[in-house]
Amino acid sequence: MEKQSYTRDNMADLLREHGINPTHQRIEIAYALFGRQEHLSADQIMAVVNDRHSETSKATVYNTLNLFKQHQLIREVIVDPSKVFYDPNTSPHHHFFNLETSELIDIDADAVQIQGLPQLPEGMVTEGVDVIIRIRPGNH
Amino acid sequence: MEKQSYTRDNMADLLREHGINPTHQRIEIAYALFGRQEHLSADQIMAVVNDRHSETSKATVYNTLNLFKQHQLIREVIVDPSKVFYDPNTSPHHHFFNLETSELIDIDADAVQIQGLPQLPEGMVTEGVDVIIRIRPGNH
DNA sequence: CCATTTATTAGACAAAGTCCAATCTTTAGT
DNA sequence: ACTAAAGATTGGACTTTGTCTAATAAATGG
Ligand SMILES: [Mn+2]
Ligand SMILES: [Mn+2]
Ligand SMILES: [Zn+2]
Ligand SMILES: [Zn+2]
């Protein structure tokens, strides 16, 4: 039951498991997300991977994040009107969103149940359910 | 119990009730949202108010929507990574989001209950809870 | 009226994200 | 190893959403 650590090496394996050819840039981007287990925006990811020396372009960051998303290696979180956050956690879960700091905190979906939702409109299927609890530093 | 209709005249009253000075442009923008009771983006609102003859600038559309939001006359809905939707319904409610058409459908919050949410992080208070059910034209 | 405050405007600007054609890298076949 | 084809990366142009600013216009109050 030991939690696996995330190294660049097993990033390559992870990418292969998802049918993605592991290039240098893709490994670095995956490692930025999985190594930290945080919710990062594209520009934050770009800053991380180019911290030591610049080696990954903006186009590649976006290409790669969209590729990861298509292969369901990561998911997007839409909470901030000005930027998308990318989430290495693809298991069903929800979020606290700190409106002051723009930080996201995971909420395991297993513990949560939602009741009383109306029927889906005719001919529609559910793609996902997002619960976002917008929070703010409190009152006293 | 007759549902009130939304005319430009009672838009002016509505604005005054919220401490907003009712100008021609503000009335048109409010009427675009409340008259339709739909979820519209800023550019859709701009198209609506300038349909007959152009009279409202982009700056005023954004100024006005932000003003309405501050006075809690409308709220924002963040579901689409590329644009904000404005919602004339400020009572607590949730949304179906049609991923094909980008249409939003209201879900009354009274019927819905959410259980098992973890405690808020220390010193934080809830500003709001958003439930978004992403839907898509179904399977057969 | 006149003076002051409030609202609107065009257009410059900023930031997030996409697109493209050129280049670089990898792969597979010989 | 050499080559051709396919795949990945790149800088920079471009688009879209939204903000900002300084000038103008409209409303308000005395
Ligand atoms: Mn490196
Ligand atoms: Mn008019
Ligand atoms: Zn998450
Ligand atoms: Zn709504």
Nearest nucleotide relative to B22: CA against C1': C7
Nearest chain A alpha carbon to B138: A124
Tens-place pLDDT, residues B56-114: 999 999 999 999 999 999 999 999 999 999 999 999 999 999 999 999 999 999 999 99
Same domain for A47 and A111, yes or no, is no
Chain mean pLDDT for chain A: 94
Q: Cα(B24) to centroid of ligand 2, in Å?
A: 7
Tens-place pLDDT, residues A25-81: 999 999 999 999 999 999 999 999 999 887 899 999 999 999 999 999 999 999 999
Please name the member of B78, B123, B135 whose beta carbon is closest to the beta carbon of A78.
Answer: B78
Mean pLDDT of A18-23: 94
Same domain for B120 and B75, yes or no, is no
Residue B107 belongs to a domain: yes
With cut-offs at 50, 70 and 90, classify the pLDDT of residue B9. confident
Residue B3 belongs to a domain: no
Q: Cα(B127) to centroid of ligand 4, in Å?
A: 17
With cut-offs at 50, 70 and 90, classify the pLDDT of residue B2. low
Domain boundary among B67, B86, B105: B86
Given 3-state DSSP classes, what are the helix, strand and coil percentages for chain A, each rounded to the nearest 5? 30, 30, 40
Q: Can you tell me the distance from the alpha carbon of A114 to that of B94, in angstroms, rounded to the nearest whole number?
A: 12
A103: pLDDT strictly greater than 70: yes
Residue B61 belongs to a domain: yes
A2: pLDDT strictly greater than 80: no
Same domain for B30 and B75, yes or no, is yes
Tally C-beta pairs within 8 A across A and B.
121
Same domain for A107 and A48, yes or no, is no
Nearest to B94 by CA among B83, B110, B81: B110
Same domain for A30 and A69, yes or no, is yes
Same domain for B65 and B123, yes or no, is no
Distance from CA of B51 to the nearest CA of A (A): 27
pLDDT score of B104: 97
Counting residues of chain B whose pLDDT is more than 90, the rounded percentage is 87
Same domain for A106 and A80, yes or no, is no
Mean pLDDT of B17-27: 94
Residue B70 belongs to a domain: yes
Same domain for A75 and A96, yes or no, is no
The number of distinct structural domains making up chain B is: 2
Mutation target to probe the A interface, by most A beta carbons within 10 A, among B75, B82, B117 is B117
Same domain for B73 and B19, yes or no, is yes
pLDDT score of A54: 78
B140: pLDDT strictly greater than 70: no
Same domain for B126 and B76, yes or no, is no
This prediction has a pTM of: 0.93
Nearest chain A alpha carbon to B112: A116
Residue B1 belongs to a domain: no
Residue A3 belongs to a domain: no
Q: Can you tell me the distance from the alpha carbon of B34 to that of B15, in angstroms, rounded to the nearest whole number?
A: 12
Q: Cα(B87) to centroid of ligand 2, in Å?
A: 22
Same domain for B58 and B37, yes or no, is yes
- Residues whose CB is less than 8 angstroms from the CB of residue A45 and which lie 6 or more positions away in sequence, other chains included: A29, A32, A33, A61, A65, A86
Same domain for B97 and B31, yes or no, is no
Domain coverage including residue A117: 91-135
Q: Can you tell me the distance from the alpha carbon of B64 to that of B22, in angstroms, rounded to the nearest whole number?
A: 11
Distance from CA of A105 to the nearest CA of B (A): 9
